[in-house]
Chains A and B, each alone.
Chain A
């Protein structure tokens, strides 16, 4: 069964850092571009970042550019999101998703930025 499982969320103070992980199984992880998408409480979906297969290209939403870094370890079938200089407005459920049209999603991990 194809599956994505996020982890690493939690409560962090403004200005702090957090690293999210997304473990993939059931498919050839290295063959796919992967993304992070977030959803603030009660709000819509917001694309955050994408990394191409082979990690040759990375893309970021303007709201996180310069603060977040996406990476992948194909040997571990794992996607990462390093989040620095966190702000209250980064509070959201963070999902990892496969491909440009997000055909596979994890269940998400909640990040809360609050003092």
Chain B
């Protein structure tokens, strides 16, 4: 199975500042025939199901604020939250859907400083 790792495990950011979360896959999730990275990002708040923020590494879902952005290709990816808001406090997960055995990263907790 493809192993997903995330860094840092947690971070504390001041309101209005930037949060950066890294995700790495044990093998490339770039499908060369269509040049798409099979990588998604989720946000999960306590007591709620996860919410898809970004698919295909950089495609923001409808309704997701544009302060959230995804980047990267191959094995290295980044989720950036610009100008952090109080409602962004949550756990963030990356996930690969390149293989038929999907896998998630362990999660990164974002808190307010």
State whether the Cβ of B42 lies closer than 8 Å to any Cβ in chain A: yes
Which one of B20-28, B48-56, B77-85 is at the A interface? B48-56
Roughly how many angstroms separate A61 CA and B104 CA in the complex, as a whole number? 12
**Interface of chain B: mostly helix, strand, loop or mixed:** loop
Roughly how many angstroms separate A89 CA and B84 CA in the complex, as a whole number? 36
How many chain B residues touch A (CB < 8 A): the figure is 25
Contact B52 A101 (CB under 8 A): yes
**In chain A, residues 98-114, which have Cβ atoms closer than 8 Å to a Cβ of chain B?**
100-108
Contact with A along B59-100 (1 / 0, CB 8 A): 001000000000000000000000000000001010101001
- Given the known inter-chain contacts A44-B93, A45-B93, A105-B49, please indicate yes or no for A59 contacting B101, CB distance below 8 A: yes
Q: Which residues of B contact A105 (CB under 8 A)?
A: 49-51
Which residues in A have some Cβ–Cβ distance to B below 8 Å?
35, 44-47, 50, 57, 59, 61-62, 95, 100-108
Contact B100 A102 (CB under 8 A): no
Contact A103 B102 (CB under 8 A): no
Which residues in B have some Cβ–Cβ distance to A below 8 Å?
1, 38, 40, 42, 44, 48-52, 55-56, 61, 91, 93, 95, 97, 100-107
Write the nearest CB–CB distance from B76 to chain A, whole angstroms. Answer: 18
Contact A46 B104 (CB under 8 A): yes
Contact A100 B101 (CB under 8 A): no
Partner of A102, one of B48, B50, B107: B50
